[in-house]
């Protein structure tokens, strides 16, 4: 199954009764397995979590710590782009050149990378004085 197919299929399971905006995310780990996630909202709105965060949690629970590729999909007018927090979360586990495919349900695609989504990201290097 392609990464986009996995994200598309899992999107149906999103729990988004408040925004009605269902998002599916799929991550291919360095070992080749696919890990999926959906957004999970809450009546206390800030407690909701994004699809990317769910896919990362599934990846970590499966014993994988490195991201090889990402796909995200929503029923949006233009391909959906990860929020700022999710960009930082993706950067924790994926190199700057990791491919991220932004998708919508009309078949539009935008190809980007973790590095392009989060230029100037905060890294451990800032915490170390040599």
Q: Which are the catalytic amino acids?
A: 52
- Binding-site member from 16, 30, 57, 68 for ligand THU (CB under 6 A): 16
Q: Closest by alpha carbon to 72, among 6, 17, 1, 130?
A: 6
* Residue 86 in contact with ligand THU, rule: CB under 6 A: yes
- Binding-site member from 6, 23, 114, 118 for ligand THU (CB under 6 A): 23
Closer residue to ligand THU, CB minimum distance, 82 or 94 = 82
Q: Which of residues 106-125 bind ligand THU (CB under 6 A)?
A: none
Side by side, which strands form the sheet with 34-38?
34-38, 23-29, 67-74, 94-104, 109-113
Closer residue to ligand THU, CB minimum distance, 31 or 108 = 108
**Secondary structure class of 64 (helix, strand, coil):** coil
Q: How many residues does the chain have?
A: 130
Look-up of token digits 């996630």: 37
* Residue 82 in contact with ligand THU, rule: CB under 6 A: yes
* Residue 64 in contact with ligand THU, rule: CB under 6 A: no
* Residue 88 in contact with ligand THU, rule: CB under 6 A: no
| Element spanning 56, H or E | helix 51-61
At what angle are helices 51-61 and 84-93 packed, to 10 degrees?
A: 20
| Chain positions contacting ligand THU, by CB under 6 A | 16, 19, 21, 23, 39, 41, 48, 50-52, 72, 80, 82-83, 86
């Amino acid at each position: 199954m392609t990464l986009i197919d996995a994200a598309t299929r899992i999107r149906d399971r999103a729990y988004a009764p408040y925004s009605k905006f269902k998002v599916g995310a799929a991550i291919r780990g360095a070992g080749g397995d696919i890990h999926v996630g959906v957004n999970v909202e809450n009546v206390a709105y800030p407690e909701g979590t994004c699809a990317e965060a769910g896919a990362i949690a599934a990846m970590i629970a499966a014993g994988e710590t490195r991201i090889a590729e990402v796909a995200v999909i929503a029923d949006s007018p233009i391909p959906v782009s990860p929020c700022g927090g999710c960009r930082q979360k993706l950067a924790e586990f994926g190199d700057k050149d990791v491919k991220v495919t932004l998708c919508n349900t009309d078949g539009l695609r935008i190809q980007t990378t973790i590095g392009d989504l989060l230029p100037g990201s905060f890294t451990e290097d800032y915490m170390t004085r040599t």
